[in-house]
Structure 1
Amino acid sequence: MLFTVVDEGTSPRFKTLLEDEFPGELDITGEGTPTSTGYFEVEVEGKLVHSKKNGEGFVDDAKKMDKVVSAVEKCLGK
């Protein structure tokens, strides 16, 4: 499963949390945004599931993390 985070350099902790939740199941990639700041976009299999740009902020609480985890579980068929 392809999991992409487009961010402003804040994804290492988020990536670790996801790898702990789904060990060996995700292909997590990151893309920097050198010409823009303020982005933190999370895509699961090409579908946008979280967007700081659209007002959701960072994935910094349980509710936001649960939303991302649910999207991953759905793609994994769990």
Structure 2
Amino acid sequence: MPNLNYGVPQDVPQRVPQDVPQDDLDAKILALIKKDNKISTEKLGMALGVSYKTIRRHIKAMGNVHYIGRGFSGHWEIHDKS
């Protein structure tokens, strides 16, 4: 049987749950970033049981969380929504 997963990393989460409450997810993302401001979106996703794309989408929608810098040398900053 041929391998049809061309170029797909093997550590990509499969069967990601779709029933995570959205407001609760935002609060959990903020709590994890406050605990470790250098955490990656991939690690956030693994910790919360969702994909890294879901994490990125939520962070973008929240509007008060920004990544400063680039790659491993950067960090997250949380700003007040006022």
Same fold (TM over 0.5): no
Tell me the TM-score normalized by structure 1.
0.25
Q: Which has the higher contact order (CA 8 A, sep 6+)?
A: 1
Q: Which has the larger radius of gyration?
A: 2
The structure that is helix-richer by fraction is: 2
Normalised TM-score (structure 2): 0.25
Select the structure that is richer in strand.
1
